[in-house]
Amino acid sequence: HLVESGGGLVQAGGSLRLSCTASGSIVAINSMGWYRQAPGEERAFVASITTGGRSNYADSVKGRFTISRDNARNTMTVYLQMNSLKPEDTDVYYCAADTIRRSWGQGTQVTVSS
């Protein structure tokens, strides 16, 4: 079960931080990440982080976005710190958790105004 928070409206150049908390069978999670999707388009990779701490980013966000994670006893939370936001970053952002299959969060809207 994934619960997201942190989306909203921000001006270009501003920052937002997204959060996603996984609960339940977190020991089976290999990695967590973020994807984005515009209306009528396919969901696209943004960033991911493994349970070992290895991170990966889409070229379009390298140097601007940072993914991190925090493990508690029964939950795992992944964060996406988004800096220097651009209008083209506007999308619905989805959290994903990979076990033997991928689970998705409900999505959170990020809108960057020019």
What confidence score (pLDDT) does residue 1 get? 87
What confidence score (pLDDT) does residue 26 get? 82
Q: Which tokens belong to 107?
A: 């999505």
What confidence score (pLDDT) does residue 10 get? 98
What confidence score (pLDDT) does residue 24 get? 82
pLDDT < 50: residue spans in the chain: none
What confidence score (pLDDT) does residue 57 get? 98
Q: Which tokens belong to 41?
A: 């388009």
